[in-house]
């Protein structure tokens, strides 16, 4: 590959990462601290970019030169941040999630394929009771914050600003064209968390446990209605005004891994979650194509339970509601 070809390929990759409403030349000019005219000359190939400029662009846009040059190292470049328990702020984490959703929405065409090993975190914010429980669980059990070690779940202690930030992320997610893949374990992890806190006497009363299960039941009813209609809508919207499209698949055998394939105006991006809060992303072409193939294979081996297929949809959601009903019966309320 010649220097000119590499430069052209780098700029093509950068353009695919910049939302359509933004000027690639102006973005590049800002990063390189040059004029827009100088950036245009580099984009047109009239001026060769320096190694220092190439480095700045690759770092900013997370571009792998190994991939560009077809150097087979077996390495895959991911971008992400690790949660630091000492400095972690849940509000800042929610803002970063909302910013990602806003970025995805800035493209004309977006598809969000979500492999749900666990309950998708966006859905926590449909209802305050679920969001409050999950917040407490994350703070106490995942991050081990000392101020939560001796307290019990109290819905009234859940900060309003946390719920509003989560609602913002959810509302942006609802604008996307979403395809979710569920399995038998998707809701089980949340039920196990509730039962663990119940058995460990971390709820103030069985009534509070009942409240969380009631909210979970209401959320399932909302998701079932979304699957029936084939689009997302706000849980408190009686008119059910359509937002982004919604498809749901169920697979009885394969268990997902909380990964997501996002396609933005044809460009593919993969997001992987790990260690509860952390997530990392990549646009590595080979890896994204591999995940794209996995998603297509998963579609063929799963049951579509949205829009059509009413019988399978009813069977799936009934099985989930039965799990909740059995646990509510065991409570002393």
Which structural domains are found in the chain, ordered by start? 3-68 (1.10.260), 80-329 (no CATH)
Nearest-angstrom CA–CA distance, 286 and 264:
17
d(CA 96, CA 81): 11
Structure tokens at 288: 């994204």
CA angle (115 as vertex; 314, 90 as ends), nearest 5: 110
- In this structure, is the dihedral angle defined by the CA atoms of residues 90, 96, 97 and 99, taken in order, positive or negative? positive
Q: Nearest-CA neighbor of 171 among 110, 227, 107, 122?
A: 122
8 A C-beta contact, residue 119 and residue 189: yes
- Dump pLDDT digits (tens) for 44-65: 888 888 888 888 888 888 777 6
What span, in angstroms and rounded, lies between the C-alpha atoms of 322 and 315?
A: 11
pLDDT-based confidence at residue 68 (cuts at 50, 70, 90)? low
pLDDT, one tens digit per residue, over 270-318 is 988 876 667 888 888 888 999 999 999 999 999 999 988 899 999 999 9
254 vs 151: CA distance, rounded Å? 38
* First-to-final CA distance of the chain: 72
pLDDT tens digits for range 260-277: 999 999 889 998 887 666
Strands (E), 184-266: 246-251, 259-264
Tell which wins on pLDDT, 8 or 198: 198
Give strand ranges (E) for 235-290: 246-251, 259-264, 267-274, 278-282
State mean pLDDT over 133-157. 91
Closest Cα partner for 178 from 122, 222, 128? Answer: 122
199 near 278, Cβ under 8 Å? no
């Amino acid at each position: 590959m010649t220097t000119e070809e590499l430069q052209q390929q780098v700029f093509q990759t950068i353009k695919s990462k910049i939302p359509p409403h933004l000027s690639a030349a102006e973005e590049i000019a800002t990063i390189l601290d040059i004029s827009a005219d100088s950036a245009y000359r580099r984009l047109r190939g009239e001026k060769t970019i320096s190694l220092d400029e190439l480095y700045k662009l690759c770092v900013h846009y997370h571009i792998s030169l190994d991939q560009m040059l077809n150097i087979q190292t077996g390495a895959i470049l991911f971008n992400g941040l690790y949660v630091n328990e000492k400095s972690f702020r849940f509000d800042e984490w929610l803002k970063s999630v909302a910013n990602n959703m806003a970025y995805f929405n800035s493209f004309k065409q977006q598809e969000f394929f979500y492999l749900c090993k666990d309950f998708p975190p966006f859905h926590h914010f449909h209802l305050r009771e679920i969001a409050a429980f999950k917040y407490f669980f994350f703070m106490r059990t995942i991050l081990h914050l000392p101020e939560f070690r001796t307290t019990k779940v109290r819905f009234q202690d859940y900060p309003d600003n946390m719920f509003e930030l989560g609602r913002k992320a959810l509302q942006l997610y609802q604008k996307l064209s979403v395809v979710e893949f569920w399995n038998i374990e998707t809701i089980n992890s949340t039920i196990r968390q509730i039962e663990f806190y119940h058995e460990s006497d971390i709820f103030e009363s069985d009534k509070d446990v009942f409240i969380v299960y009631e909210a979970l039941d209401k959320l399932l009813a909302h998701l079932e209605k979304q699957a029936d209609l084939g689009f997302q809508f706000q849980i408190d919207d009686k008119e059910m005004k359509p937002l982004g499209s919604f498809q749901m698949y169920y697979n009885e055998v394969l268990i997902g891994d909380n990964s997501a394939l996002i396609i933005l105006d044809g460009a593919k991006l993969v997001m992987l979650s790990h260690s509860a809060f952390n997530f990392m992303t990549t646009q590595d072409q080979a890896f994204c194509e591999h995940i794209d193939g996995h998603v297509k294979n998963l579609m063929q081996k799963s049951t579509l339970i949205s829009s059509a297929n009413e019988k399978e949809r009813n069977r799936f959601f009934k099985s989930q509601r039965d799990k909740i009903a059995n646990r509510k019966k065991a409570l002393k309320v």
